[in-house]
Structure 1
């Protein structure tokens, strides 16, 4: 069952995190342990895709995607990662902890890791997981923030039982559920896409460099009332561009916004207010798409993926999301994609799940977020 955010904590985060002074040892399996570096990208890619195949996960990674993770400036792989290598120097396990620079209401630490299928059952996964949780507690305590904290990890709905038990034994609780949806695009004559006329002068445009920062501001506003969401910094917003598909990405712009009304609206954040005063373009909705070619074979067909879709709260109810999705799907179809795909929080407060169902999206797969709340 999904649970709501708990009541605000009383003790400081440093107290609640209960960070250990020393990280637990890694001894299982006779592996040699060290931090990850950029030079490990090829070995990490092979291990991660081997694990994905063995566990029946519906995705694979490309080298460019993994290099982007290793190169992200807020990642500290020198202190927040471990690689386990066997006597021949072959990578057999890894773990790392990711914290986010834009967190303002709740500071979060995400756990990522796996063990090669041939080396499971030796206690390696339990030790790596314990190391990750301990390092996450250290990182949260070190922020000095007087905020709620969260240690989190993701599991596919059909994840192997031992991986599920790792989370359960550590006290993680399922907190949110996500659906991977698809919409067939191969017969648009029989299943047409909606034709949407935007009202009051709103304009649909390709997402280009001139509107990229305005799209980030729109994203932060659109997701401000979404569970678990935190504002994205410019660095975070530009992350993930290894798979970014500009030819499938769009924005809706209000060329003549009511600046006075928006500045008076308490929902307007300070960054948007500054942009309005400076006369910057106001993006009111955005569709950021990605091309995950490494996943085409796994899914059995080429697909276009809606990575992020959002509409400013002041502009909801004006068919902006429908117009953006339809534009994205038409672009996917024109480029020969068999289906449109996306991932959605099943309790999205904007009613997105119902919107996707009305447009013909159907669930293909599911995943969940598990957390320890601090």
Structure 2
């Protein structure tokens, strides 16, 4: 059965659809020895992944901090969901992992990550490692107990070697979604001014602050509930993976006098937001969360600020909230001497984000695609 993001009328139990194997396939190609990775492996795994990224002509690199964070992730069990392949000298030559966001409700997702060192490609290691990952992903999905549509997914940059794309295709994945990487000149000779945006009271633009972070999570879950493949983020998920977070470049829009009764009467208002409204908590209605990736500057050949996520609560769309937050981020990038503002966007984003970015001067630089097996 093939599922989409909209659950079919009758859905077999996840344990049945996942078709999880009792044992995982052995990896014999390349003569490597295999074991689970641990946090102590973070530095060598980082080196391995960066060698893979360089060979795949990726425009970004990993930092030791990012990789170390992945070993503290609430989305995987390192003992069962990672695999490190070592050569006869004990040097890591391949790495694979499976992550599963714990907050998923209406779509249960697993993502496959990793790769094979370029010096050891062409030996069949990648094919067998991917088979292990898919099998383990099926086990994770079956064990979730969440009887909703399910997905096994992996990403590949458009400019990655064709062999990487073929690897997914031969393993039964389909091209499910396409993403564009965009940039906007901020400080170059041809840069246009960042627009000044006024918000109608009681909306107010404020810098990101820790005391508003939970309210921002709730805004994000509302903003992205109509986006393909998106699922609510738990508190643990939301707070994880912030080694490159740039709070000085992040901005929020709050409603100082929300119409609480109308929001509570709205059937789309989620339970957590409703509880926060009843408790008189601040209401974040839009946000721009940014990251700083200094290690990518020499790879891309320029400095930039990166908008990780931009979102607006559905009830507040059409009030220039996104433009105000994004423009504030761009001004902060420029004030710190960044040449470009960068971000990525789903080409089929339902909120019209692609058109918004184009109107603000963002242009495509490259892209990526998501490969998926839907269950």
Q: TM class, shorter-chain normalised?
A: over 0.9
Matches within 5 A, 1:107-122: 107-122=108-123
- The CA distance in 2 between the partners of 1:23 and 1:189, in whole Å, is 55
| Structure 1: segments with no counterpart, 5+ residues | none
Counterpart of 2:84? 83
2:199 is paired with a residue whose SS is coil
Q: Deviations over 1:286-343 (max 9, x none)?
A: 1100001111111111100000110000000000000001100000000010100001
What is the root-mean-square deviation in Å for CA atoms of aligned residues? 1.3
Q: TM-score, normalised by structure 2?
A: 0.97
Counterpart of 1:303? 304
1:326 is paired with a residue whose SS is helix
Deviation at 1:4, TM superposition (A): 6.3
- The CA distance in 2 between the partners of 1:266 and 1:318, in whole Å, is 21
Q: Deviations over 1:214-237 (max 9, x none)?
A: 000000000000000000011111
- The CA distance in 2 between the partners of 1:16 and 1:170, in whole Å, is 17
Deviation at 1:5, TM superposition (A): 4.0
Counterpart of 1:329? 330
Counterpart of 1:60? 61
2:71 is paired with a residue whose SS is helix
- The CA distance in 1 between the partners of 2:19 and 2:190, in whole Å, is 59
- The CA distance in 2 between the partners of 1:97 and 1:316, in whole Å, is 35
Counterpart of 1:149? 150
Matches within 5 A, 1:157-306: 157-187=158-188, 191-306=192-307
2:83 is paired with a residue whose SS is strand
Q: Is the 8 A contact 2:5 2:149 kept in 1?
A: no
Tell me which moved more, 7-16 or 43-52.
7-16
- The CA distance in 1 between the partners of 2:7 and 2:222, in whole Å, is 23
Q: Deviations over 1:29-67 (max 9, x none)?
A: 111100000010111010100111111001001111111
- The CA distance in 2 between the partners of 1:20 and 1:303, in whole Å, is 45
- The CA distance in 1 between the partners of 2:6 and 2:289, in whole Å, is 32
| Structure 2: segments with no counterpart, 5+ residues | none
Deviation at 1:145, TM superposition (A): 1.6
Deviation at 1:74, TM superposition (A): 3.4
1:308 is paired with a residue whose SS is strand
Cα gap change, 1:122/1:283 in structure 2, threshold over 3 Å: closer, same or farther?
Answer: same
- The CA distance in 1 between the partners of 2:184 and 2:246, in whole Å, is 18
Q: Is the 8 A contact 2:214 2:235 kept in 1?
A: yes
- The CA distance in 1 between the partners of 2:166 and 2:178, in whole Å, is 18
Aligned residues: 372
Q: TM-score, normalised by structure 1?
A: 0.97
Counterpart of 1:17? 18
